[in-house]
Amino acid sequence: MGFALGPRAQAAGYRLAAFERTGSTNTDAIEHARAGERGPMWFVTSEQTAGRGRRQRAWIAPKGNLAASVLEVLDIAPAVAATIGFAAGLAEEAALEKVSLEAAMRLGEGRPRYALKWPNDVLANGKKLVGIGLEAEAVGDRLAIVTGIGTNVVAAPEGTPTPAVSLAALGVQISAEELFTALTDAWVEFRGIWDNGRGFAEIRKLWLARAAGLGERVAIHTGTTTLEGIFDTIDDTGCLIVRTAEGRRVPVAAGEVFFGPARSVGAA
């Protein structure tokens, strides 16, 4: 079976570029935007060789995993564009729930527990299953926004800051193609709620209902400092709010989140 858009995505006017193998679906999307493509359009592969994650980490998808990027060209500010990552997390989680339920019904087995980790990860049973990376570039008087979503379908990397897992290791036997079709339809739903940032209040509420570690101790490593406290909420711009032992509520715009005390930062 090849990659295909879901019926909702097709009806919403999305188009598809599928590759047997590519360096980076995010790069493919940005290059198309530079060449005049205005989307909305998905770029997808089951083998990615030169992808980039957050903090420029390698984002390699061995054959059978899913690397997908969606291009939207919008008239919005970069700060607003950054909040689309929360809609992407919700879409991925909804797609995973759908395919996991279908797989469980076929096999008679249980489903993993999925949760959203700030800012842009999806966890399964507490381990990283999905990474979401955003890129934006001005094209004319608008902003080309690329949302890249990488899912460990058949294999997971080792030695990552947060331990990773694959769907296969969790007993969810589905293909990258099957997950992608579900994702494109779920994207239409949550991108519609997000509504170019106008619906972020609703996205925020939905995201918090699925948030990993909410109300628990966190340690956030920003590269130069480590902030400890309680994961209180996210604000109306998507910043994580940490409540410190002194009672201060500190907004964090970027950083690596680890659950538990500071000694867990960087733990494998």
Check: CB of residue 90 under 8 Å from CB of residue 204: no
- Three-state SS at 59: strand
CATH of 217-261, one of 2.40.50.840, 3.90.660.10, 2.30.30.100, 2.60.40.1480: 2.30.30.100
Could you write out the DSSP letters of every residue in 191-259?
HHHHGGGTTHHHHHHHHHTTBTTTTSEEEEE-SS-EEEEEEEEE-TTSPEEEE-TTS-EEEESS-EEEE
146 vs 33: CA distance, rounded Å: 9
pLDDT in tens, 125-134: 999 999 999 9
* Confidence bin at 264 (pLDDT 50/70/90): very low
Q: How far is CA 214 from the centre of its chain?
A: 18
Helix axes 200-208, 176-194, angle to 10 degrees: 130
Q: How far is CA 237 from the centre of its chain?
A: 17
pLDDT in tens, 64-110: 999 999 999 999 999 999 999 999 999 999 999 999 988 776 655 66
Tokens of 169: 């290791």
129 vs 151: CA distance, rounded Å: 6
172 vs 178: CA distance, rounded Å: 12
Task: Delimit the domains of the chain by residue range.
Answer: 7-208, 217-261
pLDDT at 60: 56
58 pLDDT above the threshold of 80: no
Check: CB of residue 173 under 8 Å from CB of residue 103: yes
Question: What DSSP designation does 40 have?
Answer: -
Amino acid letter at 35? A
CB-CB neighbours of 83 under 10 Å: 23
pLDDT in tens, 36-48: 999 999 999 988 8
pLDDT at 4: 98
pLDDT in tens, 230-257: 999 999 999 999 999 999 999 999 888 9
Please tell me the class of the 7-208 domain: alpha beta
Work out the mean pLDDT of the chain and round it to a whole number: 90
pLDDT in tens, 142-168: 999 999 999 999 999 888 878 999 999
- Which residues on neighbouring strands pair with residue 257, listed in sequence order? 220
User: Averaged over 21-36, what is the pLDDT?
Assistant: 96
Check: CB of residue 260 under 8 Å from CB of residue 217: yes
CB-CB neighbours of 110 under 10 Å: 10
